[in-house]
Chains A and B, each alone.
Chain A
Amino acid sequence: DGGITQSPKYLFRKEGQNVTLSCEQNLNHDAMYWYRQDPGQGLRLIYYSQIVNDFQKGDIAEGYSVSREKKESFPLTVTSAQKNPTAFYLCASSIAASMDEQFFGPGTRLTVL
């Protein structure tokens, strides 16, 4: 089955540790996105990638980093510089940036203790 997967579903880390969230898609989509969602709020864009080996900052990129070495993978690292990392993180992909609807993964809920 084609789709977009994120792992793990729940993640706990100690304050000051970097953590990497996984996002994989087998839809052959060029564009991939990372969003953050806080309780009762809408989604905010962290980073996006329109094509492999290229990515751009979104609205709240500070304290995060990404890579796009393979078309199907877009991992997000939450660094210790992110002041408020506890949140629900959502990855999405689309055939091409801005041209099509986005398909979302199930999300990773990160809790920093």
Chain B
Amino acid sequence: DAKTTQPTSMDCAEGRAANLPCNHSTISGNEYVYWYRQIHSQGPQYIIHGLKNNETNEMASLIITEDRKSSTLILPHATLRDTAVYYCIVRVVSRGSQGNLIFGKGTKLSVKP
């Protein structure tokens, strides 16, 4: 079972920030938070990941609460092409562990004109 809880769906107006929440209340100290997205009928695409500090890259920002029990993915200026299912995943990152990603059902983000 996935270790994360996400809303089933969200809407966002084009050009506005999209804030996607994720709860991971049972996260362990050695587990990272990863975000992927999947546009319809395509393979998932990596977005960002973090351990406890906030992270930013060219695609998005990741805000992790101090207790690490929840996080928020922020798309600063959503476009229609950001419409996708967004997956929040927690995983151990250490050599020798299985390494697979456990995907839940994610949040379907619809960006509207």
A31 partner residues in chain B, CB cutoff 8 A = 99
| Known contacts A101-B49, A103-B46, A104-B44; A43/B95 CB under 8 A | no
On whether the beta carbons of B99 and A107 are closer than 8 Å, the reply is no
A48 partner residues in chain B, CB cutoff 8 A = 98-100
A103 partner residues in chain B, CB cutoff 8 A = 46
A107 to B39, CA, bound (A): 12
Interchain nearest-CB distance for B44 vs A (Å): 5
The B31-71 residues at the A interface (CB cut-off 8 A) are: 34, 41-46, 49
B21 partner residues in chain A, CB cutoff 8 A = none
On whether the beta carbons of A98 and B105 are closer than 8 Å, the reply is no
On whether the beta carbons of B103 and A98 are closer than 8 Å, the reply is no
Report which of A44, A45, A58, A107 forms a contact with B43, defined as CB distance below 8 A.
Answer: A107
B49 partner residues in chain A, CB cutoff 8 A = 101
On whether the beta carbons of B91 and A98 are closer than 8 Å, the reply is yes
Question: Which A-chain residue is minimally distant from B48 (CB atoms)?
Answer: A101
Interface size on B, residues (CB 8 A): 26
| Known contacts A42-B87, A107-B41; A101/B46 CB under 8 A | yes
The B7-25 residues at the A interface (CB cut-off 8 A) are: none
Does A2 make an interface contact (CB < 8 A)? no
The B69-106 residues at the A interface (CB cut-off 8 A) are: 87, 91-106
On whether the beta carbons of A42 and B92 are closer than 8 Å, the reply is no
Question: Which B-chain residue is minimally distant from A96 (CB atoms)?
Answer: B95
A26 to B46, CA, bound (A): 18
B96 partner residues in chain A, CB cutoff 8 A = 97-98
The 6 closest A-B pairs by CB, nearest first: A98-B99, A104-B43, A42-B103, A97-B99, A43-B103, A101-B46
Can you list 25 A-B pairs with a CB-CB distance of less than 8 A?
A: A31-B99, A33-B99, A42-B87, A42-B103, A42-B106, A43-B101, A44-B103, A45-B101, A45-B102, A48-B98, A58-B100, A90-B43, A97-B95, A97-B96, A97-B97, A98-B92, A98-B97, A98-B98, A98-B99, A99-B94, A102-B46, A102-B101, A104-B44, A104-B45, A106-B43
Interface residues of B (CB under 8 A from A): 2, 34, 41-46, 49, 87, 91-106
